[in-house]
Amino acid sequence: MKQFAAALAVGGAGAALAFLLGLPAPFITGPAILVTLAGLGGVAMAIPVAARDLAFVFIGLTMGTGVTPEVLDAAGRWPVSLGLLGLSVLAIILVCRFLLMRLFGQDGRTAVLSSAPGHLSYLLGMADAGGLNVRMIAVVQSIRILILTLSVPPLVILLDRADMVHVAVRVPMSIFALGTSVALALVTGFAFKRLRLPAAFLIAGMAISTATHLSGSVAGHVPQWAAVPAFVMLGILIGTRFSGVSLRELRQALSAGLLVTGVAIVIAVAAAFLAARLTGLPLDMMLIALAPGGVETMSAMAQLMHVDATFVTAHHVARLFLLTFLVPFILGRQKDGGATAPLDRHDTAH
């Protein structure tokens, strides 16, 4: 318990500091950075498996809240751009996987999770559950998020279309709905675990949230007081995986992150140009909708630039939904034996 308490204290401080500094995804990146530094300084930290699984349930629940009947209904009106979105996501994964395996010597499974454009929590959950190189994946994906986040303001200035429009306030779900969803997700998670599904509790939370929001039985997002601690826990988990990382490994991960992000942006921009040409819809809207990640930033961007927010949201939800099924499918076809650890470890998550 002392190691868990130390992890919570350091991770909480890292989250607060990152939030104050305005870092991207502060409640994940902040704890990851500070826990990493504390671990390198000799501080012993660990997360019990039960705490990790509970955090994954809450993270999974947050992922399904965007899949509403309204979004699905709207998505049916844009088959061309959604089709090109799917092709661009597949192209990004396959091209980046090839480059990471060829240039950086990554195993196939690690390369797939490093290449996927988005769904950070899901990817890291699968990496941890599958015993893969979480350190490499975390750095590569964090670089992608950082670059996408930092590129948004210049895009606004370049297009000269921004004004001070407030983003719509999201309404949290009720305490009863949250409690019921958590209970259902825990039961489903244990069932998935018996079936040896990777990231069982993460997938369970997402499945329950998606089903309840689509059916209309639950409305609203997971309250911040419940979601933020779960993301902090994920950041702590990432940080503990950096124990023993060398400077050479870190440089390699940073280089891989820059490469993956550059390739993803080039492919996404090409898809956006083609989609705009074929549909006649505005290019700026397509660029935001087909961006390879940064769903929260891009949704806010849609509001600021007076483009169709439903269009943008539908495409980003579709990207996350596609990745949910596409990533496990591609992982299952890898023959390199990249994951040697069992899918669900029963030891303490160090």
* Segment holding 236, helix H or strand E: helix 224-240
Q: Taking 90 as the threshold, does the pLDDT of residue 85 lie above it? A: yes
> Would residue 306 count as lying in a domain?
yes
User: In the predicted model, what is the mean pLDDT of the chain?
Assistant: 82
| Band of residue 309 on the pLDDT scale cut at 50, 70, 90 | low
pLDDT of residue 46: 87
- Beta strands (DSSP E) in 119-248 are none
> Would residue 240 count as lying in a domain?
yes
* Segment holding 233, helix H or strand E: helix 224-240
Q: Taking 70 as the threshold, does the pLDDT of residue 151 lie above it? A: no
Residues 34, 232: Cα–Cα separation, whole Å = 11
| Band of residue 305 on the pLDDT scale cut at 50, 70, 90 | low
Residues 89 and 291 sit within 8 Å (Cβ to Cβ)? no
Q: Which residues contact residue 102 at a Cβ distance below 8 angstroms, ignoring those fewer than 6 apart?
A: none
Please compute Rg for the chain using Cα positions.
19
| Tokens matching residue 191 | 């069932």
Residues 22, 274: Cα–Cα separation, whole Å = 34
- 105-119, 153-167, 201-215: least confident range: 153-167
Mark 69-91 as b/e (b = at least 16 C-beta within 10 Å): eebeebbeebeebbebbeebbeb
Q: Please state the rounded mean pLDDT for residues 286-303.
A: 74
Residues 202, 116: Cα–Cα separation, whole Å = 17
The total of structural domains in the chain comes to 1
Q: Please state the rounded mean pLDDT for residues 17-28.
A: 84
Q: Taking 60 as the threshold, does the pLDDT of residue 343 lie above it? A: no
> Would residue 100 count as lying in a domain?
yes
- 66-80, 128-142, 335-349: least confident range: 335-349
> Would residue 102 count as lying in a domain?
yes
> Would residue 337 count as lying in a domain?
no
Q: How far is CA 22 from CA 15, 19, 123, 160, 222, in A?
A: 11, 5, 23, 23, 22
Q: Taking 60 as the threshold, does the pLDDT of residue 349 lie above it? A: no
> Would residue 111 count as lying in a domain?
yes
| Band of residue 266 on the pLDDT scale cut at 50, 70, 90 | very high
Is this structure's pTM higher than 0.85? no
Q: Which residues contact residue 101 at a Cβ distance below 8 angstroms, ignoring those fewer than 6 apart?
A: 107, 108, 111
pLDDT of residue 342: 30
Q: Across the strands, what pairs with 221?
A: 172
pLDDT of residue 156: 47
pLDDT of residue 74: 67
Structural domain span for residue 281: 26-39+50-332
Q: Which residues contact residue 122 at a Cβ distance below 8 angstroms, ignoring those fewer than 6 apart?
A: 63, 199, 202, 206, 320, 323, 324, 327
> Would residue 69 count as lying in a domain?
yes
152-161, 250-259, 309-318: which has the highest mean pLDDT? 250-259
Q: Taking 70 as the threshold, does the pLDDT of residue 334 lie above it? A: yes
> Would residue 342 count as lying in a domain?
no
